[in-house]
Structures are given as C-alpha cells and as structure tokens.
Amino acid sequence: MSLVRLDIKGISYSQTQNGAYALILNEQEGNKQLPIVIGAFEAQSIAIALEKDIKPPRPLTHDLFKNFSERFEINIKQVIIHKLVDGVFYSSLISERQGVEETIDARTSDAIALALRFDAPIFTYQNILDKAGIYLNAEPKSAKEQREEADTILDSVMPDEPLSSSSSSDYSNLSLKELNKMLDQAVSKEDYEQAALLRDEISKRN
C-alpha cells in the first residue's frame, strides 16, 4: 500500500460542541483533508507547537518526551497513521537510536504532537485517506465561514454525544490589547487551553 504525505492545516474548535476539537491534515499532493477528533490537552499541545510565539514556562508532557529522547539520542523519524477502526485512528512512531529503528504504537494525537517537535513527516495509507478523507474548498474564508466549516467537520466525525468540557469564553468584545494581556496571563498560569483559544481569536483579527 502506498503512503501519502500529510501536512497540518490547523485545529478547528466547534462552537456548538463544547470541548470538541478536530485536527485537520492536508494531503500534500492532492485536495483531500483528513479530520481527526482529538482531546483538549492534545489540542493545546499541538497548538503550542504550531504557534511559535507561545512559550510555556515549563515543559509540557510532549516537550518532556522530546527532551528525554534527545538526552538518550533517540530520534523520531516519521509518524504513520496506519489503521482506522470504528472511527479511531491508530498510529506508529518510527524511531531510531544508533542506527537501529523501532516502531512504537501511539495515539494519533500524541504522535502528531511529537512529530511537530521532532520535525518529523506524517504519513497515512491511501486507503485510509480514501475512506476518511474529505474535500474542502481551499479558497480563503471569513472567520464566520471558518467557524461554520469547523462545525461541519466536527459534526461529520464526532459521535452523537459531545465531549464534556468547560465552554469557551466569548472574546469577540475584547480589544487586541486585552486579548494579548490575557494570553500572557494564561501562559504564565499554564492554562494552555485558554491560551490556544485566545491565540485563535488574535489570529482571526490579524
């Protein structure tokens, strides 16, 4: 089976299903996108790795794993999303130490969070992309259209019962100065879920 290279487009947060996040992966040489439902913690970790200007004062779990691996000269070479069963994606970390490769089972969200930190490529098999991939219009969208697209994606991949989590605050009435101040406070308190939401709101306005 042929492998397909994927890039990370971003993370969508549902405005209608509290606590629901979808990681959107793009087919590198094609028009399909692969949405994967992930938890809030993993969404925070991936968002922080994507947003270089958010610097946690202490290492997160995935940062600790990277520091540990580097200390013992272990490198993550690539991530492969190799199986899809009942809506659940299964992934493998292809690691290397002193020229010896090992394959390690991992949750897809964890695998991608680590791939970002090791600058490792992400792959899936063509049959998985054919089965779970969707086509989305690649033209630029307004903030409202992006939120509607996020809800559409999440509705298509989420189970009937939404994930439970505290609802996000409405930041639309705050100024950029207030948002940036709140972002700094959230990072200092290690509240990365709020930091990711604040960063999303700031990005929409820039």
pLDDT per residue as tens digits for the range 124-135: 999 999 999 887
Structure tokens at 194: 């709020």
Domain definitions of the chain by residue range: 1-155, 164-205
Give every CB contact of residue 182 below 8 A, 6+ residues apart in sequence.
Answer: 171, 174, 194, 198
pLDDT of 197 reads: 79
pLDDT of 104 reads: 96
How far is 87 from 90, CA to CA, in rounded Å? 10
CATH class of 1-155: alpha beta
Confidence grade of residue 165 (pLDDT, cut at 50, 70, 90): very low
What single-letter amino acid sits at 80? I
Alpha-carbon torsion (164, 165, 169, 172), positive or negative: negative
Strand locations in 70-120 (E): 75-85, 88-97, 100-107
**What's the pTM?**
0.70
pLDDT of 83 reads: 94
Q: What confidence tens digit (pLDDT) does each residue in 73-88 have?
A: 999 999 999 999 988 8
- The answer, yes or no, to whether residue 72 has pLDDT greater than 70, is yes
Q: Which residues on adjacent β-strands are paired with residue 84?
A: 89
